[in-house]
Amino acid sequence: MSKILIGRYVPGNSLVYKMDPRGKLLVTILFIFIIFLANNWVTYAIITIFSFLAVAATKLKAKVFWDGVKPLIWLILFTSVLQLFFTTGGQIYWNWIIFTISSYGITNAIYIFIRFTLIILISTVMTVTTMPLEIADAMEWILTPLKYVKVPIDKIALVMSIALRFVPTLFDETLKIMNAQRSRGADFNNGGLIKRAKAITPLLVPLFINSLETAVDLSTAMESRGYRDGANRTRYRILKWSKYDLYELAYFIILVLLLLVFRTK
Amino acid sequence: MSIKFEKVSYTYFPGSPLEKKGLDNVSFKIKEGQFIAIIGHTGSGKSTLMQHFNALLKPSKGRIEIAGQTILPTTSNKNLKELRKHVSLVFQFPEAQLFENTVLDDIAFGPKNFGYSEQKAKEKAWTWLTRVGLPKSVANRSPFDLSGGQMRQVAIAGVMAYEPDILCLDEPAAGLDPRARKQMMGLFSKYQQEGHTVILVTHNMDDVANYANDVLVMESGKLIKHARPAEVFKDRSWLKEHYIEEPKASLFASKLTNFTFSNTPLTIKELVKGIENNLKE
Amino acid sequence: MAKDSIIKIRNVSFTYPDTTSPAINNISFDIKRGSWTSIIGHNGSGKSTIIRLINGLLVPDNKNSPYIEVDGTELTDKTVWNIRDKVGIVFQNPDNQFVGATVADDVAFGLENRGVPRSKMLKIVPEAIKAVGMDDYTNAEPSNLSGGQKQRVAIAGILAIQPKIIILDEATSMLDPSGRSKILQIVHQMKKKDNLTVVSITHDIDEANLADQIIVMNNGGLVDQGNTKEIFSKVKLLKSLGLDVPFASQVKEKLLQSGISIPKEINSEKELINYLCQSNSKK
């Protein structure tokens, strides 16, 4: 029952869900670069609006995105505060030993804050609307060129997909063994570091043994089902581009163009 | 002493999109020293209920009195050891919990956690090693070298070795062959006759008929019936309505259309007796 | 008779590495085409090992010149992959044989391995999923399925490759009663529809009772083989091997003990019930 939301994928069917994971992954990566094109209030406003529209297009609750930002909020604030105190230039408002608050500092802090938050938001848009498996497929596609230098991308992809498939199983198993050992008087919550490290053996050994058993069973099943090394396998699940990916591309290009036009040269 | 549930509800993942009711306003009182069966379909709340007995789960609402302790939604996670010493849970396929280097050490793990001295724990381990039917020769072997059935026995011994007052078991005989199954059920029955409470979560209605003297029937998180086995299996249309199987004996009896049984036979013994009475009348 | 044997096993022994006594000791038997055969025996009697020998996951010991034939093809290094096309196995643990990320992916796995073109898979996969009644779950992930549903998917994965033989290796032992009966019902239908041969390894006496042929194993050897009625009337033998006896046979035995005479030829539940009802109306 432990539905720990890995990759925090949230089921839905808005238009973002219909986009190809390859496009989403690529755009997300490019976004991290193009955000540096913004260098004044207008461009930051543009990219913020575009990002929030993307968030809105998922049709998911704001809480989903807040959950994405929340764990990193202190890091974002810390980085912003550093900018605030250590940037000099423009008008100086306050100065104490090495700390300065200047007009540049204030704008930089705000810029950094926006930049960070938007990157997280856009990554969250991808991870909540794309199943981990699809992300793995997209990664496989991006890595395809490595095939030509004899990297076994197919096998790596199969391993990734099986690993992802067993994550929830492993969580359930962990919870079950923890409960069983708790019933036998094991204590995972109290005591010092050494005591806790010791307490984890009754959890790790069974998990390890069970995983080995699973691996043996799985390989037996795979072999029985005709899996063999070096055979030419076909693919059932393939990714397909659709018109939604064109929309995505157009949206992205418009954003880049606007940024290029309005940025301070 | 008794085990008492008062309006106990449990909600999984409250406030999230995955929110789900595990238990819904469950109240009952059972006497200690009984052999109690909990039946119901997969997902009916049997396992959720079981995990409340030793506070692996705590009620979202309501209160539980068990083994002289009270469990409330606010009960702290600390200091549950005393409770777990008296109320023990055996999950399905318990052989998955073995981890020690030797069989004996694994059986002694529980007793040691619950405050037995090293020597006393080993003594207990020896006692229960033989009581569950393992040969003494396996004591110093690795539990992972044993057969599946023997590993199950080690796991069960490891829980019985600190002699909990209340022993809860989730399908302890699942996957065992008939001989091992019979032997294991006999072990629990004997344990109950020695003055302990045994709570069995099961799908096997013959085990219910043969061993239990009190039955809790769960459906969608609710307790829909609490009665003696004879009472539970009496009403055939009610059983059908709730998709509960009958014990083999009563099913067989129902096909003997021109026979009359004063009470629905639940066990093979009762069935044979009933047939005899009919034929010899 | 030998002509319509779909599986032929001759003089096969098998010893696991690092053990001294063989898990399978010089076994020979035939399985009839189109039959439903149950292999019964207590844990460790060698039931599961036999299965792994039939599809070449294990290789017999090299003595007494062992011979294994499946659907007219001798099992060798060269034919092993052809034989695996003919034999589908559903294993015990529902989780540990679910390879795909979703139901459809898992059903497609065997087809992918055989290089079946995608256009064909798009037809076969949904059909197989539908045949086991899982069409509402085509894109579901295994973590959201029950054990019984996972086993149904495993069957769909086997149906997709259109085997001749389907083997249930204690495939229902980890399921609840409703999951178990659903699986058996599906296998029954499939057997009828595609004229499959079913081999089921089981402890469950009711499951064994579905078979028309039974093989009894003990300590790596074959103890008895025959039709179901005949084997299940050997109450003493079964009991001495620690095996379950059908409920009707138990009732018959107990009635005999308490002095009620029942003719020898009365064995199945139906026969016993009819006989008892008749005696009751006669008196």
Q: Does B91 touch chain A (CB under 8 A)?
A: yes
pLDDT at C282: 77
Q: Please, where in chain B does CATH 3.40.50.300 lie?
A: 2-233
Please report which helix (H) or strand (E) contains residue B1, including its range: none
The residue type at B113: N
- For B141-232, strand residue ranges (E) read 166-170, 197-201, 214-219, 222-227
Is there a domain that residue A210 lies in? yes
Inform me whether the pLDDT recorded for B51 exceeds 90. yes
A102 and A179, same domain (yes or no): no
State the virtual CA torsion across B264, B269, B272, B275 in degrees, nearest 10.
-30
Minimal Cβ distance to A184: which of B12, B18, B113: B113
Interface of A with C in 209-228 (CB under 8 A): 213-214, 217-218, 220-228
pLDDT digits (tens, 9 = 90+) for C114-127: 999 999 999 999 99
Q: For residue A160, what are the contacts with CB-CB under 8 A and spacing of at least 6?
A: A136, A139, A140
Compute the distance between CA of residue C40 and CA of residue C232 in angstroms, rounded to an integer.
11
A225 to C113: CB separation less than 8 angstroms, yes or no:
yes
Compute the distance between CA of residue B96 and CA of residue B98 in angstroms, rounded to an integer.
6
Is there a domain that residue A147 lies in? no
Q: Indicate the average pLDDT of chain C.
A: 91
Please report which helix (H) or strand (E) contains residue A69, including its range: helix A62-69
Per-residue pLDDT of chain A (265 residues; tens, 9 = 90+): 333 343 468 888 899 999 999 999 999 999 999 999 998 999 999 999 999 999 999 998 888 888 878 888 888 899 899 888 888 777 888 888 888 888 888 888 999 999 999 999 999 899 889 988 888 889 888 888 888 888 888 888 888 888 888 888 898 899 999 999 999 998 887 777 787 788 889 999 999 999 999 999 999 999 999 998 776 889 898 888 999 999 999 999 999 999 999 998 7
C109 to A232: CB separation less than 8 angstroms, yes or no:
no
Residue of A nearest to B77 (CA): A189
Q: Which of C254, C249, C251, C250 is nearest to C268 (CA)?
A: C249
For chain B, the C-alpha Rg in angstroms (whole number) is 20
User: What residues does each domain of chain C span?
Assistant: 2-245, 246-283
A162 and A208, same domain (yes or no): yes
Backbone angles phi, psi at C43, to 5 degrees: -55, 135
Minimal Cβ distance to B278: which of C170, C248, C280: C280
The answer to whether the beta carbons of residues B132 and B187 sit under 8 Å apart is yes
pLDDT at C1: 42
Compute the distance between CA of residue C203 and CA of residue C200 in angstroms, rounded to an integer.
10
Candidates A3, A176, A224, A233, partner chain C, best to mutate (most C CBs within 10 A): A224
Minimal Cβ distance to C177: which of B149, B178, B245: B245
A210 and A253, same domain (yes or no): no
Is there a domain that residue A236 lies in? no
ipTM (interface pTM): 0.90
Compute the distance between CA of residue C158 and CA of residue C154 in angstroms, rounded to an integer.
6
Compute the distance between CA of residue C229 and CA of residue C271 in angstroms, rounded to an integer.
11
Question: Higher confidence at residue B232 or residue B15?
Answer: B232
A1 to B97: CB separation less than 8 angstroms, yes or no:
no
A117 and A169, same domain (yes or no): no
pLDDT at C3: 55
The residue type at C140: A
Three-state DSSP state, C211: coil
Please report which helix (H) or strand (E) contains residue C100, including its range: none
Q: Which of A252, A222, A182, A226 is nearest to A25 (CA)?
A: A252
Subunits with 3+ C-beta pairs closer than 8 A to A: B, C
Is there a domain that residue A138 lies in? no
Structural domain of residue A195, as residue ranges?
A: 152-224
Q: Which of A239, C179, C40, C27 is nearest to B171 (CA)?
A: C179
pLDDT digits (tens, 9 = 90+) for C3-23: 589 999 999 999 998 888 899
Residue of C nearest to A214 (CA): C96
CA A33 to chain centre: 16
A203 and A90, same domain (yes or no): no
Q: Does C104 touch chain A (CB under 8 A)?
A: yes
Is there a domain that residue A232 lies in? no
Both tokens of A77, joined, read 């604030």
- Which of A53-67, A87-101, C84-98, C176-190 is least confident? A87-101
A105 and A14, same domain (yes or no): yes
Q: Indicate the average pLDDT of chain B.
A: 93
A81 and A42, same domain (yes or no): yes
B275 to C260: CB separation less than 8 angstroms, yes or no:
yes
Residue of B nearest to A181 (CA): B97
A238 to C118: CB separation less than 8 angstroms, yes or no:
yes
Compute the distance between CA of residue A203 and CA of residue C184 in angstroms, rounded to an integer.
36
CA B231 to chain centre: 20
Residue B3 burial (CB count, 10 A) = 20
pLDDT band of C43, cuts 50, 70, 90: confident
pLDDT band of B255, cuts 50, 70, 90: very high
State the virtual CA torsion across B42, B43, B44, B50 in degrees, nearest 10.
90
A125 and A10, same domain (yes or no): yes
A158 and A27, same domain (yes or no): no
Determine the average pLDDT of the residues in C219-227: 93
Three-state DSSP state, A126: helix
Minimal Cβ distance to C255: which of B175, B259, B275: B275
B84 to A182: CB separation less than 8 angstroms, yes or no:
yes
Residue B32 burial (CB count, 10 A) = 15
Buried b (16+ CB within 10 A) or exposed e, A88-99: eeeeeeeeeeee
pLDDT at C283: 67
Please list every residue in chain A whose beta carbon sits closer than 8 Å to the beta carbon of residue C89: 221, 224
Is there a domain that residue A107 lies in? yes
Residue of B nearest to A191 (CA): B78
Give the C-alpha distances (Å, rounded to integers) separating C180 from A171, B26, B236, C186, C187: 26, 29, 22, 10, 11
For domain C2-245, the CATH superfamily is P-loop containing nucleotide triphosphate hydrolases (3.40.50.300)
pLDDT digits (tens, 9 = 90+) for B140-154: 999 999 988 999 999
Domain count, chain A: 2
- Among the four given CATH numbers 3.40.1390.10, 2.30.31.20, 3.40.50.300, 3.90.1150.10, the one describing domain B2-233: 3.40.50.300
pLDDT at A136: 85
B178 to C203: CB separation less than 8 angstroms, yes or no:
yes
pLDDT at B226: 96
pLDDT band of B265, cuts 50, 70, 90: very high
A91 and A205, same domain (yes or no): no
Residue C264 burial (CB count, 10 A) = 7
Compute the distance between CA of residue B24 and CA of residue B10 in angstroms, rounded to an integer.
7
pLDDT digits (tens, 9 = 90+) for B200-248: 999 999 999 999 999 999 999 999 999 999 999 998 899 999 999 999 9
**Burial of residue B195, with CB atoms counted within 10 A of its CB: 0-12 exposed, 13-18 middle, 19 or more buried:** exposed
The answer to whether the beta carbons of residues A84 and A106 sit under 8 Å apart is yes
pLDDT at A103: 85
pLDDT at A3: 38
Subunits with 3+ C-beta pairs closer than 8 A to C: A, B
A220 to C91: CB separation less than 8 angstroms, yes or no:
yes
Both tokens of B202, joined, read 């099961």
Minimal Cβ distance to A209: which of B18, B114, B144: B144
Both tokens of B2, joined, read 């008794």
Please list every residue in chain C whose beta carbon sits closer than 8 Å to the beta carbon of residue B178: 42, 203, 205, 242-244
Inform me whether the pLDDT recorded for B17 exceeds 80. no
Please list every residue in chain C whose beta carbon sits closer than 8 Å to the beta carbon of residue A228: 81, 113
Both tokens of B270, joined, read 């009762």
